Amino acid sequence: MVTIGITGFAVSLALALVLTPFVKKFAHRIGAIDVPNHRKVHTRMMPRLGGLAIYAAFTACILFLMPWLPDGWLSSHDERLIGGLLTGGTLIVLLGALDDKFQLSAKLKLLVQIGAACVVVFGFDVQIDLVNIPFGSSMQALGDWIGIPLTIFWIVGVTNAINLIDGLDGLAAGVSGIAITSILVMAALMGQGTVVMLSAILLGAIIGFLFFNFHPAKIFMGDSGSLFLGFALAMLSMLGFKQITVVSFVTPLLIIGVPLSDTFFAIIRRWVQKKPIFEPDKGHLHHCLQQLGFSHRKTVLIIYGIAGFFGACAVVQSVISKSGYGNWITFIVIAVMVFLLQIGAELIGIVDKSRRPVLDLLFRMRMKTQTDSRSK
């Protein structure tokens, strides 16, 4: 398992390093260029389609390694996982590439994403069958009437969450890489060889692309990259631990904590401001950090740190979930994370810069305590 993972990582990294410059030239040739506007951070035209390099490196490496795998190494579950990931991922990459060139409508993109998720569920019989719910019995079986829509919702939701944070050089790629690393560690600890291989290959492709995408970027991944990484993350976070068809209630949420929370706050922000949910704005986490005075590079590194914290929590929570205190630790993790997210959101003004209910409450409690102590 270790040898296959290291080999996959190295081959994928090398392929991404070689392929990205060719994709950059191809993007210039067909006019897949990102033009600056009032909502974007960059100030010069940049080639898009970088996601093609990530996808090509990932796919080519899998096809290269498959004949070398030992007989019986892949189970039927593994084969369905790989087939669903490659087939659905191909549809997603084609959608993203067309959007990078022609700027497709949000409704059309959503329909194709749902179609790709349906291919995974109905074409390869990959779905959430069991769920581990804190404070419930060990495993709750889900019928198709719950499992199928839940799987489709999860895939489409995570796919778009990565797309929404793709606003700074290296941000979406780096955050995705950190999340994939968390999945890789958990899969290794639980002996999920296929998921270790897939995660290592995808991580190699991401790091190879980051050489050209980190600030100052030479190429953007575009929707072809952010949508594909989101789709791959959805698949691997859903299937990457315990059993191929088992998902923990909390762990995958922690793995993608940064894009998920940013998406959640974006929905709340637009609802509070009475704007359409799918209308782009400059209120995302990276925008808020830059408005506080952090440089482009520092903003990205801060978000990397937050993503790393989420990933570490996911690994720790996954490891201790088997202990007798797993449910209580899960509850504490959820409570602390929700509190910290709310405090952080109010400090940077990600929802509304004028409304800080929790901070105001804490301030009033502090003032009351000081007043009471003086009166004594």
Longest alpha-carbon distance in the chain: 79
H helices of 190-215, in order, are: 193-213
CB 193 within 8 A of CB 73: yes
- Check the annotation: does 163 bind a ligand: yes
Query: In a 10 Å sphere around its CB, with 0-12 CB exposed, 13-18 middle and 19+ buried, how is residue 322 labelled?
Result: exposed
- The closest alpha carbon to 285, from 308, 261, 267, belongs to 261
Structure tokens at 142: 């889900």
CB 207 within 8 A of CB 177: yes
CB contact set of 46 (below 8 Å; sequence gap of 6+): 33, 34, 217, 219, 220
- Check the annotation: does 71 bind a ligand: no
| Torsion sign, CA atoms 219, 296, 307, 2 | positive
Q: How far apart are CA 343 and CA 246, in angstroms?
A: 32
Q: How far apart are CA 162 and CA 214, in angstroms?
A: 16
CB 248 within 8 A of CB 318: yes
Place of tokens 């191909």: 90
Q: Which residues define the annotated binding site for Mg(2+)?
A: 163, 223
Q: Which residues define the annotated binding site?
A: 163, 223
